[in-house]
Copies of this chain bind each other. A is one copy, B any other.
Amino acid sequence: MGEVLILGAGMMGSAFSFPLADAGHTVRLVGTHLDRDWISSLRETGVHPKLKMKLPESVIPFTHDQLGEALTYKPDLIVLGVNSAGVDWAVQQLGPLLKTPTPTLMLSKGLRARNNTLQILPDIVRDGLAGYGINQVPVGAIGGPCIAGELAARRHTSVVMAYSDATVLERILPLVVASYYHARPSTDIIGVEACAALKNLFAIAVGYSAGLLERLGKASNGALMHNLAAGLFTQALAEIGPLVSLIGGAPASVHGLAGTGDLYVTCQAGRNSRLGYLLGRGLCYSDAKANYMAGDTIEGAELALAIGPTLENLFQQGSLRRTVLPLAAAIIDAISHDLPLQLLWEAFHQNLAI
């Protein structure tokens, strides 16, 4: 039984303490400066107010200024549960305090644009820590369909754990397996991370069908728009493949839990779907965001804004064909340029491997 430190006490960071605690580990759950109220509640009652669950006994809450103290217990594993915007902050906190290169596992999802290429967050963290003189930290990630509230309720959850180094993977994987938490190994960390980030973008498109349905109304025979949603879902997966390849991952990861599984679950609910729904109702992005989702971080929209200019450059240079990514291009146009989301049927389903 080991020691695990989780940095970030939001929904996912906190939910991840369940399989760890159930596996017998002591978990130090360190909130960010934004998680102060949740850490207070955990200290007073043991209940996480957003997760609406009492955390297991072996989870010990810390505030962000106690990170140094939490690290003195020499964790076998550090888990990053901050959101994608908090990754740089996390590196800045850990960098000065970390004494040894401790294996790190990221729950945060996203992609960054740098010099006309796209980078996965584990590489940002690894490079960031190296800037503090801490070299060769193995940074891995978890992908797959995992709604935090369900994990905390100990519902069956299947995920993929990715480290590029198979030896590290073999050592870390057994730390986070519980009877209801089924983690499978992958060494394709780029593919897993690219899928995990991109599903947020494409969930917007699938969500669009629900909004369009509301705009046009039920048909006279009561018909809904599942055919449309399924067509968009299929096209989404067909476009994640080439994007994964572009970033340097294995396109086959799209067919696993990180791609297919996570897109499926993300289309069931959540903020990306809701933005898609609002676009489907006919709102433009700026209107939807300002008037309906002002306080929300919409990871898919953030991603569109982060990677949109890079993809547009690659389209213009001709090193990436827009015809291969008609749905991604349409979502990026809608979000970056506030244009109506256009479904280009002629371009869809042309690149399916059939």
Which A residues form the contact surface with B (CB < 8 A)? 51-53, 144-147, 149-153, 155-158, 160, 182, 184, 186, 188, 191-192, 219-231, 233-235, 237-238, 250, 252-253, 255-258, 260-262, 264-265, 268-269, 343, 345, 348-350, 352-354
Contact = CB atoms under 8 A, between A and B. Distances in A.
15 contacts: A52-B220, A52-B221, A149-B222, A150-B226, A151-B227, A152-B221, A156-B225, A182-B345, A182-B348, A184-B349, A184-B350, A230-B268, A231-B261, A234-B255, A253-B354
B153 A219 contact: yes
A151 to B, nearest CB: 7
Nearest to A180: B345
Contacts of A349: 158, 160, 182, 184, 256-257
Number of copies: 2
Contacts of A51: 221
B256 A155 contact: no
A263 B230 CA distance: 9
Contacts of A221: 51-53, 149, 152-153
B192 A231 contact: no
Given A150-B219, A157-B228, A184-B354, 7 more contacts: A150-B223, A155-B219, A158-B234, A233-B261, A233-B264, A255-B352, A255-B353
Given A147-B227, A221-B53, A234-B261, A252 B182 contact: no
A109 B63 CA distance: 59
Contacts of A265: 226-227, 229-230
